[in-house]
A and B are shown apart, each in its own frame.
Chain A
Amino acid sequence: DAGVTQSPTHLIKTRGQQVTLRCSPKSGHDTVSWYQQALGQGPQFIFQYYEEEERQRGNFPDRFSGHQFPNYSSELNVNALLLGDSALYLCASSLRTGLNGYTFGSGTRLTVV
């Protein structure tokens, strides 16, 4: 049973560029959440997608956007990259309520230079 799959695993981008990160949720899960984890910090909630719509959003600027596809997979897009966007980006899948916990992927390590 495949867990959450994220791609790519590592990425280096230049300031001002745009990036797209991808996530396939665990089989049976219909909700995808994205988190940003800076070095030495806990994950910070970016947004959550359910039924192909953004349902909740954390305190992140509009440069961060996303999408969910009919097969529940999801993308995270970041425009106009800043040095401060360097972080581990985690995708977590769950059922809608999240009561049974979240399954996280291994993340995408984004470095902005």
Chain B
Amino acid sequence: TQLLEQSPQFLSIQEGENLTVYCNSSSVFSSLQWYRQEPGEGPVLLVTVVTGGEVKKLKRLTFQFGDARKDSSLHITAAQPGDTGLYLCAGAFYGGSQGNLIFGKGTKLSVKP
């Protein structure tokens, strides 16, 4: 059972275009993290969102955590070739079972010059 569904699975766009990646679940998470992974490397943390409705910005990247803490989105403005990579969302549960991350399958983004 896939707890976190990411969409789209693949995305190929031209430089300068905008895009949004979605991460949805039926589970409520204590926090949700977004990672970017390049081939042959481990995921690199981009942002952690904790509060329902929270919006965080990282340069051209905007992250939003749903009010119910079940879903999140990543919006990239004016995409550049350097944004190419695998974007992973990961939910975390705290309390009784602390700390392990549940990952989505990822969105493979290709930005063409």
Residue B50 at the chain A interface, CB threshold 8 Å = yes
**Tally of contact residues, B, Cβ under 8 A:** 27
Is the pair B100, A45 in contact by a Cβ cutoff of 8 Å? Answer: yes
Residue A98 at the chain B interface, CB threshold 8 Å = yes
Assuming the contacts A33-B99, A42-B88, A42-B104, asked whether A4 and B48 have C-beta atoms less than 8 A apart, the reply is no
* Interface range, A side: 20 to 34
Complex Cα spacing A103 to B31, Å: 16
Is the pair B100, A48 in contact by a Cβ cutoff of 8 Å? Answer: yes
Is the pair A43, B50 in contact by a Cβ cutoff of 8 Å? Answer: no
Scan residues 65-113 of chain A and give those whose CB is less than 8 A from a CB of chain B: 90, 92, 94, 96-107, 109
Is the pair B106, A99 in contact by a Cβ cutoff of 8 Å? Answer: no
Complex Cα spacing A99 to B103, Å: 15
Give residues in A with beta carbon < 8 Å to B. 4, 31, 33, 35, 40-45, 48, 55-56, 58, 90, 92, 94, 96-107, 109
